[in-house]
Structure 1
Amino acid sequence: MRRLLPQSLAARTLAALTIGFAILFAAMVGIHDVLLRRAVERGTEELLAQRLATIVDAVEATPEADRNRVAHALSRADLEVHWRSSAAPTPDHPSREGWPTVAARTAALTRVATEVRVRPGRVDAGADQLVGIGAVARLPDGSWIEVELASFNVLSTDQGVLHSYAAAVGLALLLAVGFAVRSVSAPVSALANAVSRLAPEGEPATISASGPREVRQLAEALNDMSTRTRDAFRQRTLALGALSHDLMSPIARLRLRADELPNDIREPIRHDLAEMETMVSDVLAYLRGGHGGEPVQPLSIAALVRTVADEFTDAGTPVDEGRIDEDAVAPGRRIAIKRAVTNLVANAVRHGRDPWVEVEQRPDEVRVKVGDHGPGIPAEDLPRVTEPFFRGDRARTAGGGSGLGLSTALAIAEGHGGNLSIESAPGKGTIVSLRLPRQPQAI
């Protein structure tokens, strides 16, 4: 059900207004039809009563000897008028059934008829007429006037045209509301796009404050937050640089002093110092998250992966180079991406055997795969291996590493608009895929 709902603010607002207008339009049309029908009935009754009253008055004003001649003279193709003396039988025209209102109104208009009876007839919907109408009126002298109307035009209006005009007005109103909703939602969409392009480094990009007051207030608050975030990021970068210098310098001095120690003591100390240096470097790389002030530029991912593989091979750990697309190019920071690939290969070397690398170019991304033929990652540890400082039981037993290799690689991938995925089967090895978009991202 949620998938069927519009996703944007403008679409949801317009949909709600459209439903509301549709309900309102249906209610108005129904009420209007009822009221119009009643008005048409009252108008038709009034016109019919006036016509009957006119005929009665005209005949009554004529001398009795000429009344029958005048009645016949008033007759038409669709109208028959007869005058009958008091000796004539009373025609059968019920007065209290059908249209008693017409009879009462006719009697009130003539002021001469002592009794009026009306036969309402029936409605011919096709011709929009009343047919078969009859009426009789008793004059003060006891004579009768009998009127037979073959047809009578009904006071009406073209409902289809009326509804078309109403629908056109409603559509115009919806269009106007749509433009109004768009004027409200467009600044929100522009604000969301601007916020998505904000980066924690570089000069702060000012978000234009436009649209309703609330949107302008939000834009101003985000501009202030962006400035504060960049200031905090700069301070953190300075603190990281100072930490790197303050920690690396004592480690270097300890390494020099260890050279003066006996061999049985010197080598363990050197190993511990190297591990400390690696841990400090890993922590700093993770905190930088792929950002080190390095510019983004087009990189040959194939050449970079081959460089990492050659470095491990030169250090005594051969890395098999599988399928490598030589034309694989993606924008990024060279040092950061190289560190990510190095961390992945180092993990494959440390926790597996026979490491291998591949580079695959796809239409929208470049994929670097690093795998091994080791014991794999237990299923219960797989969701947590990219968490900082997490190491599975096998990794803790083997020792080495800071627990930040995959975390740093993931941070670098996300910092470039990419992603990191891990596939592992116990006893068959692990494959880590580093995905980098081929189009420049807001990184």
Structure 2
Amino acid sequence: MTEAQGGVRGWAAARKGVWSWLRFTSLRLRLVVVFGLVALTAAVSASGIAYWLNREAVLRRAQDAVLRDFEQEMQIRAGLLPEEPTQDELQHTAGQMANSSQRFSVLLVARDGNGKTVYGSSGGLSGFSLQDVPRSLREAVNERQKVDSENASEYRLYWQRVVEDGTPYLVAGTRVVGDGPTGYMLKSLKPEAKDLNSLAWSLGIATGLALIGSALLAQAAATTVLKPVHRLGVAARRLGEGKLDTRLRVSGTDELADLSRTFNNAAAALEKRVADMAGRDDASRRFVADMSHELRTPLTAITAVTEVLEEELDAETGSVDPMIEPAVRLVVSETRRLNNLVENLMEVTRFDAGTARLVLDDVELADQITACIDARAWLDAVELDAERGLHARLDPRRLDVILANLIGNALKHGGSPVRVSVREAAEEIVIEVQDHGPGIPEDVLPHVFDRFYKASASRPRSEGSGLGLSIALENAHIHGGEITAANSPEGGAVFTLRLPKDASALMAEAEQAEQAEKGDA
């Protein structure tokens, strides 16, 4: 890549960066920039047009006065010279012509009696010379014109503007009719250029003032326009934070007032909708909680009866009629299932009501997992990979619920053996539960922690309640942890539990928040 290409690419990247910056900066800045660009364009255009018109007017006025005076001097003084003047005569006449009101330099050119070209300059030999006249102008001056109805003279007056050493000059020339001398004039336009420079500075200052004024006007306009927009943004943020009683003050009949009214109507509708939903949700939670409490008393009696029936079934005396033994066993299993469902529902209502609390203790993880597996007679189906001496400050009962649900789900829906591995990562504990089953279908993965969700619609009455994994996730959240589900590349499903090594800080924050809510109430 050449240096020129690199420069072009660098310029393009810089321009792209500038536009990206403008695109993502505040609306106020963009309004000010747009106002400034419009004002700058208008001011520069107006100043340019004004300067050009004034320049032409000033130069035309000065030029016409000088050319008119020079032409008169050529007719009056140069026309009185003899056909073959001497150099002294030319010099004297040039000096007289230069003393006109316009004060220009004069050069006269003629042939003397010997046919020799002689010159007469108003400034002497070191003054205005033929070399100061452009060649094209000299050729045009000496060109004889045809005399007709439109052209009354054989020779015409020609002029040209030139710049030497930064100073502008007006050069003109003509020839006296009848083979008279040729005259050239040089006039400095420095005063006019100075006046035009002053005009340019004045227009530049006016442009700068217009730009500053437009910026101030844009700032005022942006403040007027953006203040309601800012209030709308603040109100929207408050609404997003749950402050549904937020409303905007409406004034005027413009589009921003209509927007404020629309926002207020939407906020009122949202507040009513949320209040209705919260009322129904509270009623639903109260119903589930009341139902669960009401079911516990009869369930306790039924459970006691089923335990007696189960003991009779296991007794060697065989006092139960073999014909009703299947029915008795079904009652026993369904009673246990119903009892577990009621307990799960009560746990769910505690989470929903925000009354679930941690009871922290120092837990040795390997012993805790072993006790969970042993209590449920899963030792033969579960492999444990955990180092001894790995401790964490957690709620042991809730950790047992999490492990029981994850391992039980792996044994029920996956394949043996189920592997439980524990490792320490930074300030958290990572527990993975992996089975060797077919894995979880991709369309099921996003819903495995949903309440009452079952992967197969053909098994609506499976032994599970559909709440186990949801309860496990809630128990992880109350510790400040998380549970994720995925499929292992080696086959089978993997549930990963991440818990902090010490949940004391989270528990203290929850207690402070609860005290603050009570204080606000």
How would you bin the TM-score normalised by the shorter chain? 0.5 to 0.7
Q: Which of the numbers 463, 483, 495 marks the counterpart of 1:400?
A: 463
CA deviation vs aligned residue, 1:270-303 (integer Å, no higher than 9, x gap): 21111123334445656x5943322677967967
Q: How does 1:268-417 map to 2 (within 5 A)?
A: 268-282=330-344, 288=349, 290-294=351-355, 310-318=371-379, 320=384, 322=386, 326=391, 339-340=401-402, 342-351=404-413, 352=415, 353-356=417-420, 358=422, 360=424, 362=426, 366=428, 368-375=430-437, 377-380=439-442, 383-384=445-446, 386=448, 387-392=450-455, 400-410=463-473
- The residue aligned with 1:111 is none
Cα distance in 2 for partners of 1:335, 1:389 equals 23
Q: How does 1:138-157 map to 2 (within 5 A)?
A: 147-152=185-190, 153-154=192-193, 155-156=196-197, 157=200
- The residue aligned with 1:130 is 168
Q: Which of the numbers 49, 63, 66 marks the counterpart of 1:52?
A: 66
- What is the SS of the residue equivalent to 2:293? helix
Q: TM-score, normalised by structure 2?
A: 0.54
For 2:436, give the aligned amino acid: G
Cα distance in 2 for partners of 1:436, 1:13 equals 44
- The residue aligned with 2:292 is 244
Does the CA contact (< 8 Å) of 1:59 and 1:71 recur in 2?
yes
- What is the SS of the residue equivalent to 1:120? strand
- 1:383–1:184 CA distance, 2 compared to 1 (3 A): farther
Cα distance in 2 for partners of 1:225, 1:49 equals 84
For 2:171, give the aligned amino acid: I
For 1:42, give the aligned amino acid: E
CA deviation vs aligned residue, 1:303-332 (integer Å, no higher than 9, x gap): 799757634433433574736864567xxx
Cα distance in 2 for partners of 1:8, 1:119 equals 52
CA deviation vs aligned residue, 1:188-222 (integer Å, no higher than 9, x gap): 55445545544xxxxx7865757976466255555
- The residue aligned with 1:121 is 161
Q: Deviation at 1:184?
A: 5.3
- The residue aligned with 1:110 is none
Does the CA contact (< 8 Å) of 1:416 and 1:436 recur in 2?
yes
Q: TM-score, normalised by structure 1?
A: 0.62
- What is the SS of the residue equivalent to 1:131? strand
- What is the SS of the residue equivalent to 1:267? helix
Q: Deviation at 1:399?
A: 5.1
Does the CA contact (< 8 Å) of 2:482 and 2:497 recur in 1?
yes
Q: Deviation at 1:382?
A: 5.4
Does the CA contact (< 8 Å) of 1:389 and 1:402 recur in 2?
yes
Does the CA contact (< 8 Å) of 1:381 and 1:392 recur in 2?
no
Q: Which has the higher contact order (CA 8 A, sep 6+)?
A: 1
Cα distance in 2 for partners of 1:186, 1:300 equals 50
- The residue aligned with 2:303 is 255
For 1:120, give the aligned amino acid: Q
- The residue aligned with 1:80 is 105
For 1:430, give the aligned amino acid: A
Q: Deviation at 1:269?
A: 1.0
Q: Which has the larger radius of gyration?
A: 2
Does the CA contact (< 8 Å) of 2:363 and 2:392 recur in 1?
yes
- What is the SS of the residue equivalent to 1:291? helix
- 1:57–1:381 CA distance, 2 compared to 1 (3 A): closer
Does the CA contact (< 8 Å) of 1:328 and 1:360 recur in 2?
no
Cα distance in 1 for partners of 2:21, 2:358 equals 36
Cα distance in 2 for partners of 1:380, 1:259 equals 42
Does the CA contact (< 8 Å) of 1:123 and 1:131 recur in 2?
yes
- The residue aligned with 1:234 is 282
Cα distance in 2 for partners of 1:300, 1:22 equals 67
For 1:421, give the aligned amino acid: T
Does the CA contact (< 8 Å) of 1:72 and 1:82 recur in 2?
no
* Larger CA deviation: 403-412 vs 211-220: 211-220
- What is the SS of the residue equivalent to 2:168? strand
List gaps (5 residues or longer) in structure 2: 1-16, 81-91, 110-136, 142-154, 251-255, 314-324, 515-521
Does the CA contact (< 8 Å) of 1:209 and 1:219 recur in 2?
no
Does the CA contact (< 8 Å) of 1:355 and 1:372 recur in 2?
yes
Q: Deviation at 1:383?
A: 2.5
List gaps (5 residues or longer) in structure 1: 85-89, 95-114, 199-203
Does the CA contact (< 8 Å) of 2:47 and 2:207 recur in 1?
no
- What is the SS of the residue equivalent to 1:317? coil
The number of equivalent residue pairs is 399
Q: Deviation at 1:432?
A: 1.7
CA deviation vs aligned residue, 1:364-391 (integer Å, no higher than 9, x gap): xx45434134325145465355154444
Does the CA contact (< 8 Å) of 2:157 and 2:173 recur in 1?
yes
Cα distance in 2 for partners of 1:397, 1:426 equals 30
Cα distance in 1 for partners of 2:330, 2:97 equals 137
Does the CA contact (< 8 Å) of 1:349 and 1:355 recur in 2?
no
- 1:397–1:243 CA distance, 2 compared to 1 (3 A): closer
Does the CA contact (< 8 Å) of 1:122 and 1:130 recur in 2?
yes
Cα distance in 1 for partners of 2:207, 2:359 equals 63
- The residue aligned with 2:151 is none
Does the CA contact (< 8 Å) of 2:435 and 2:492 recur in 1?
yes
